[in-house]
Structure 1
Amino acid sequence: MMKKLTANLIGATGLVGSHLLQQLLNDDRFEQVRVFSRRATGQSHPKLNEQLVNFDEMTEWASLINGDVLFSTLGTTLKKAGSKEKQFVIDYTYQYQAAETAVKNGVADFVLVSSAGANTNSKIFYSRMKGELDEAVKGLDFKKIIILRPSILDGDRQEKRTAEKIGIKVMRWLTQYVFKKYRPIHAKTVARAMINSIFNEELTTDYLIFELDEVEKLGA
């Protein structure tokens, strides 16, 4: 009988994270889902262990990040963060610190949502930041590091983003003909791909990056 896993999740209140949380709770292969969040998810489930935390004081709850896998879907927008410096703290620093803590505590696997176009040499701040994180976690001693690079995320968000919804409709049309690697992908597909990557026995390399086409296949 396969051992049931304990999952850790940061970013559970975001678009991908909320889908991932629901899927983990409904997945019999996981016996416990431990969530670290600034605010409550609003979920109630026997498997859910919800920890409301301050990411600026990670040392206070670092020992709680343990088990089998860390799923990281944390992220924000420049507009919401207020500055590039603050966005960097959320999108890079918090996620790297959580991953670093997890590996010190013996967590075997790390699954990270990055972004299409992530590149350490990009002139675009967001793409460069994502590329830098992808490269940084490569140096951590997990048994398996899995990075997913979806494009524009589709799905219903808690907050209204009218401009984004319009942009997704435009991109759906436009990417039929050009820029196909940036076509929208639904957040629930990305979430499924994150879970499936853990159980895919064909994935034997210890550091894997999945671009959009591969994320879609993995999440099918």
Structure 2
Amino acid sequence: MKVVIFGATGMVGQGVLRECLAAPDVELVKTIGRNPTGQRHPKLRELVHAEMWDYEGMDEELDGFDACFYCIGVSPGKLGEQQYTHIVRDMAVNAGAALSRVNPRMVFVYVSILGADSTEKSRLMWERVRGKTENALLALPFRAVYVLRPGMIQPLDGIKSKTPAYRIFYSLFKPVLPLLHRALPNLVVTTRQMGQAMLNVVRRGAQKRVLEAADINALSRS
């Protein structure tokens, strides 16, 4: 298969990129992002794209893919709802719309967050926005769209988060995370499992369109 990855420099994106490059049935991986990954591999092609909301005139760059793994995320932090919506929903939906136009047979996999509210009525801004994003992507005319809602993610294989606060957290809790992963398989997943589950949902599909941590763990083993 040929896959395109958005957000390959983030923690989840690094994980899925690693699994794609190692997978025998993946023949080509294209990453799209503002910064290069810094990796070199015969399968890897990189597109550095400054304006992540605009894909006009890029059909040739986006055509010919079997799957998209959309891994771009941002912490709500002090962002207002309008700014958070622009970064989270608008960016993802614009990319999805451009891809669905040229790859209607594609499987689109979106990495969301635990707690996203598909009713769009949550009192928490980030839950509403993520739910709106999921709903908009699920409505796009792809062969299939899947939403992954991981809980806590344990980074493996030397992968690190780009967010300073997260790096501090993972550094402090590094000895504990493997124990949590074993004790709470319905809450904790690894970057390796994320990548394997995303590939497997393209290969074999899933019974549900919205997949929680337990589903991700199960899919990674299938």
1:143 corresponds in structure 2 to: 143
Query: In structure 2, which of residues 191, 196, 206 is the aligned counterpart of residue 187 of structure 1?
Result: 191
- Residue 184 (structure 1) shift: 2.9
Q: Which amino acid aligns with 2:19?
A: Q
Contact 1:151/1:181 (<8 A) preserved: no
Distance verdict in 2 for CA 1:182–1:167, change over 3 Å? farther
1:106 corresponds in structure 2 to: 103
Contact 1:116/1:182 (<8 A) preserved: no
Q: Distance in 2 between the 1:174 and 1:49 partners?
A: 36
Contact 1:37/1:52 (<8 A) preserved: yes
Distance verdict in 2 for CA 1:169–1:126, change over 3 Å? farther
Q: Distance in 2 between the 1:139 and 1:97 partners?
A: 13
1:23 corresponds in structure 2 to: 19
Q: Which amino acid aligns with 1:151?
A: G
Q: Which amino acid aligns with 1:49?
A: R
Query: In structure 1, which of residues 136, 151, 157 is the aligned counterpart of residue 161 of structure 2?
Result: 157
Equivalent runs, 1:36-115 vs 2, <5 Å: 36-53=32-49, 54-66=51-63, 67-79=65-77, 82-107=79-104, 108-115=106-113
2:209 corresponds in structure 1 to: 208
Q: Normalized against structure 1, the TM-score is what?
A: 0.83
Distance verdict in 2 for CA 1:122–1:30, change over 3 Å? same
- Residue 71 (structure 1) shift: 1.0
Contact 1:71/1:112 (<8 A) preserved: yes
- Residue 212 (structure 1) shift: 1.4
Paired residue secondary structure (1:57) = coil
- Residue 219 (structure 1) shift: 1.7
Q: What's the CA shift string for 1:178-209, capped at 9, x where partnerless?
A: xx6973322221121111111126x3x6x711
Q: Normalized against structure 2, the TM-score is what?
A: 0.82
Paired residue secondary structure (1:219) = helix
Percent identity over the alignment is 22
Contact 1:74/1:90 (<8 A) preserved: no
Q: Which amino acid aligns with 1:193?
A: A
The answer for unaligned runs of 5 or more in structure 1 is: none
Distance verdict in 2 for CA 1:195–1:175, change over 3 Å? closer
More moved, 182-191 vs 118-127: 182-191
Q: What's the CA shift string for 1:33-80, capped at 9, x where partnerless?
A: 11101001001111111000021432253541122111101111133x
The answer for unaligned runs of 5 or more in structure 2 is: none
Distance verdict in 2 for CA 1:163–1:143, change over 3 Å? same
Q: Which amino acid aligns with 1:106?
A: N
- Residue 17 (structure 1) shift: 0.3
Q: Which amino acid aligns with 2:109?
A: V
Distance verdict in 2 for CA 1:92–1:170, change over 3 Å? farther
Q: Distance in 1 between the 2:192 and 2:123 partners?
A: 30
